[in-house]
Amino acid sequence: MANLTLVQGDITAQSVDAIVNAANSSLLGGGGVDGAIHRKGGPEILEACRALRASHYGKGLPTGRAVATTAGRLDARWVIHTVGPVWSATEDRSGLLASCYRESLAVADELGARSVAFPAISTGIYGWPMDDGARIAYETVQAARTGVEGVRFVLFDERSYETFAARLP
Ligand code: AR6
């Protein structure tokens, strides 16, 4: 099982093998973590995303799936882009959020990544409640059969950090 750590800060400042991006299915960038990763990582990441769209994901990367590109100028070898579900009060989409963590770790395993940094997927623009996002993140990562040794959750602000810290297994 991977060792779990928490830090408060900016995921683009992390030095790890793979940084996970909370992307959207277009893979062409956006706000939040996605915007920060593309801004700091530089145009190489967008170029790689465009190539992936052209070769495999003409209709977009489905929700719950993950795919890797170069990390450009970030201090990492790869960025793993995953598409979280938009929060719904009427439909249970937690399986899709769990899938983001599981699939990202599966991609990390294929790459041979040993350390992976995750943001709190779906808890920003996509509106997922932070405490439930933390629960799903921990449950899924703990249950994963993975060769990844270190999983670092990077929480942007104090409130999200405290929420994750309170639920840390
Ligand atoms: N480092 C770490 N965490 C961050 C950072 C950062 N630099 N910036 C924001 N967060 P979000 P989503 C936190 O909105 O909810 C994009 O436009 C943020 O506080 O980035 O999955 C995509 O293109 C929140 O807790 O992702 C999609 O369209 C968490 O990261 C859409 O947003 C996730 O917030 C995806 O929405």
**Residue 29 belongs to domain with CATH number:** 3.40.220.10
The pLDDT tens digits of the residues spanning 16-53 come to 999 999 999 999 999 999 999 999 999 999 999 999 99
| Average pLDDT value for the chain | 98
Q: Is the CB of 63 under 6 A from ligand 1?
A: no
Q: 39: CA distance to ligand 1 center in Å? A: 14
Instruction: Round to the nearest angstrom and report the end-to-end CA distance of the chain.
Output: 13
Pairing of strands 78-83, 115-118: unpaired
Pairing of strands 66-70, 78-83: antiparallel
Q: Report, as an integer, the average pLDDT of 112-136.
A: 98
The model's pTM is 0.98
Residue 103 has pLDDT above 90, yes or no: yes
Residue nearest to atom 18 of ligand 1 (CA): 124
Helices (H), 42-129: 43-55, 94-111
Tally of domains within the chain: 1
The ipTM estimated for the assembled molecules is: 0.99
The pLDDT tens digits of the residues spanning 141-151 come to 999 999 999 99
Residue 2 has pLDDT above 90, yes or no: no
Please give the distance of CA 146 from its chain centroid, rounded to a whole number: 16
- Domain extent at residue 162: 3-167
Q: Report, as an integer, the average pLDDT of 81-89.
A: 98
